[in-house]
Structure 1
């Protein structure tokens, strides 16, 4: 029972709570993010979500780990191999999954397609929308295909009513679109605030665990690329998926950044078409389409995303600068990493890059941060600086150190096999990685130890 009401200040970026307003958040170091919100003090230490669930549950005794038997058929396939790969093999029963992304990127379309597929397989699915009417959802659903009778639609934002409906109907899969529109009457603040988002996520988490329902929640992403609301939201859920890409382009990348039931290194690639999202089973071939021929500053590099090798084109343009401070731009690669590699080239090979503008781009709009991309960036810069094209049937990968050495990378054999499958006949890679790799017929492997060896290969 509530004793009284008071207010506190919450950071809208990370959820840090303070008794007074502060200009800079001491947790995330952001400025002017504190907003005053009412807080309801309770006599106990439990939140309203936890207390409500406790009333519905009987007191349980601890169980021995050896006596617990895992549930059979714990995972449910979504019907999309790309999504199943990112989730670690399928949907885990009773899990809470957060799907974040920019507005208009295709989050609702993806989840509606998943709901349609699961409903056609006999699963009871409930799609709860706080942003669209039932007629608007119907228009979008007709575009992605026919849905089965087990797909239910509900337009509601009151979590108390949603709780009663879930406990009464007990669906197997639930989609909440979006978490920023949900509100609880026990919290006296506007929907989308830190208190409301935290309370809503706590209630949904308890429902997912107690009732064994898999719940997908949609979270909007701010211009800085983080889920709107407190970052504590990411710590409360079981899985966090980010939908990336330019909404004006046709490709989409689904990336897992947290997964309690699988790997966080996997990605899924989709293409937005007229009838919804279509899986891209071979992202390498898709990313390399439209490559220029005999153009300097272009090279194909190989990156590993989980267990999947992906070949991408790295482009570089190096030219004489007319500015007092040369301009450097990196698109799809880490800007600081590009500057570091250019400093290594200038120091170890004597190139005068300090008076040159440099532009590095990973074609296709995909972002890669793996260290194995270093050698590709270096060779693209060298090719543009010397205006000498690299053979278009050559791929490169390897990590570059500050001393100019080319260091080993993991899963070298899988990268070479992917290159061979796509028709490449030459691989430039670290010499130390060749030792543990067996002979692969039909492709030439060139091992390099330092940047001087890379320069000679050009």
Structure 2
């Protein structure tokens, strides 16, 4: 009798090892390898070339009807999705614990149910009574939502098969689901992959819009196998700091709409409230310009958002190693920008502590923030405020050049709408004629031009 082969699968990254070891060799996680049953090995006598059903091919130019989206009832949620739920789509939503995922989905379920859509909410983490208490606190207890608390995928699919397919199905969360056809505890790679596959198959076959809530790791990635993100149609991330009231719903993958669209919410006592003008949320109220403060028109998808970048320079008297602290921006990018300012502009930051903060807890990933960060640093170092009602945008190269960025007119229009009438950016904006009425644009081609402007402004 042949000896059964064993395999050990990492629960963090999904890599397979022939033997158990304390640390995964691929992702370096400790105690993450779990033994799973080896797959059945087919011999050459198993021929799969016959006995199946013949598939039908269609040409690329075949007419395809556009999907009829169902609005969620929350404009910010619809923006992030690209217009609403698509029937038969699978959506994976991740976020830190306690950030408000269940609250957002419960509010969405209530609005869809009140508009006439059948909604099923399956909770695997909380009892039905806990969900009802949250609904009562949010004023949603009168919504006709079908609620159940279970973790068995067999029971869920059997129950859904005996009823009319709902318009919206919520599974909270996929890591708690369990299938009796798969070995392993809930949350393992095989269980998460198998349960998600069965639920997605049901949603596709019956035209049900389904949302799977996913746990996240300490690094912010969705827990479980990476293939889970490939199986679904939309991957969304619900972000925010617990110390701040705002929440951002970001689309990381969307087969039915644009990627990197965001929806902004504010956590209030009655639940999540939509923020129609997020720029005012990230701009602190200032009566007069302050040194070390610059406003940057960030772009999230098709939505421009004005955020305030704050810098503080503390000169050291002793020979202690200076600190570099960054909140809301990439630490490595700030180190690169400091090096460019020292090498190309002759400024000295090596003997001073540098602190950088993006107001409101916002996290910047747009490379166009380089010029705004540089302006805040130069302003803090020289202790001179930047011009009032001005915005800064542009990418800085290692040679000290101000490189062009995308969608400059969109950034300028949002700035003018909020009362910022001066803009500093790449010279290519003026060359292409991308100026916007109401905004005085000052082109900059080299980083030393920024230093000369700030230092010589007073």
Mark yes or no: TM-score above 0.5: yes
The answer to whether the 8 A contact 2:408-2:434 is kept is no
State whether structure 2 residue 307 is matched by structure 1 residue 308: no
| Displacement of 1:73 | 4.7
Question: What runs of 5+ residues in structure 1 fail to find an aligned partner?
Answer: 46-57
State whether structure 2 residue 97 is matched by structure 1 residue 103: yes
Structure 1 pair 26–391 and aligned structure 2 pair: CA distance change class (3 A): same
Q: 1:35 aligns with which of 33, 36, 39?
A: 33
| Displacement of 1:150 | 4.0
**Which has the higher mean CA deviation after the structures are superposed, 283-292 or 90-99?**
283-292
The answer to whether the 8 A contact 1:256-1:267 is kept is yes
State whether structure 2 residue 260 is matched by structure 1 residue 262: no
State whether structure 2 residue 370 is matched by structure 1 residue 374: yes
| Displacement of 1:6 | 6.3
The answer to whether the 8 A contact 2:21-2:33 is kept is no
Q: 1:398 aligns with which of 368, 383, 394?
A: 394
* Correspondence for 1:153: 147
* Correspondence for 2:87: 93
State whether structure 2 residue 14 is matched by structure 1 residue 8: no
The answer to whether the 8 A contact 1:329-1:358 is kept is yes
* Correspondence for 1:196: 191
* Correspondence for 1:167: 161
Distance 2:271 2:304 in 1: 26
| Displacement of 1:324 | 3.6
Aligned residue runs from structure 1 range 232-251, under 5 A: 232-251=227-246
Question: What runs of 5+ residues in structure 2 fail to find an aligned partner?
Answer: 44-51
Distance 1:198 1:5 in 2: 23
Structure 1 pair 71–317 and aligned structure 2 pair: CA distance change class (3 A): same
Deviations 1:82-141 (A, max 9, x none): 111111221111111111001100000000111101001111110000111222111111
Distance 1:373 1:356 in 2: 22
* Correspondence for 1:331: 327
| Displacement of 1:436 | 2.1
**Which has the higher mean CA deviation after the structures are superposed, 16-25 or 208-217?**
16-25
Question: Aligned residues, how many?
Answer: 443
The answer to whether the 8 A contact 1:269-1:279 is kept is yes
Distance 2:319 2:222 in 1: 38
Deviations 1:358-393 (A, max 9, x none): 111101111111110000000000000001111331
Deviations 1:36-76 (A, max 9, x none): 2332645779xxxxxxxxxxxx9463231358543455211
| Displacement of 1:160 | 0.5
Structure 1 pair 40–69 and aligned structure 2 pair: CA distance change class (3 A): farther
| Displacement of 1:229 | 2.1
State whether structure 2 residue 240 is matched by structure 1 residue 252: no
* Correspondence for 1:408: 404
* Correspondence for 1:363: 359
Deviations 1:317-366 (A, max 9, x none): 11213454321111100100000000000001111111111111101111
**Which has the higher mean CA deviation after the structures are superposed, 397-406 or 34-43?**
34-43
The answer to whether the 8 A contact 1:424-1:443 is kept is yes
**Which has the higher mean CA deviation after the structures are superposed, 114-123 or 131-140?**
131-140
| Displacement of 1:179 | 0.9
What's the TM-score, normalizing by structure 1? 0.92
Structure 1 pair 43–152 and aligned structure 2 pair: CA distance change class (3 A): farther
Deviations 1:212-264 (A, max 9, x none): 11110111112211112222221221111111111232110111111122221
| Displacement of 1:277 | 0.5
Cα RMSD, aligned residues only: 2.1
SS at match of 1:354: coil
* Correspondence for 2:428: 432
Deviations 1:166-224 (A, max 9, x none): 22222121000111111001122111112211111111121111121111011111221
State whether structure 2 residue 344 is matched by structure 1 residue 345: no
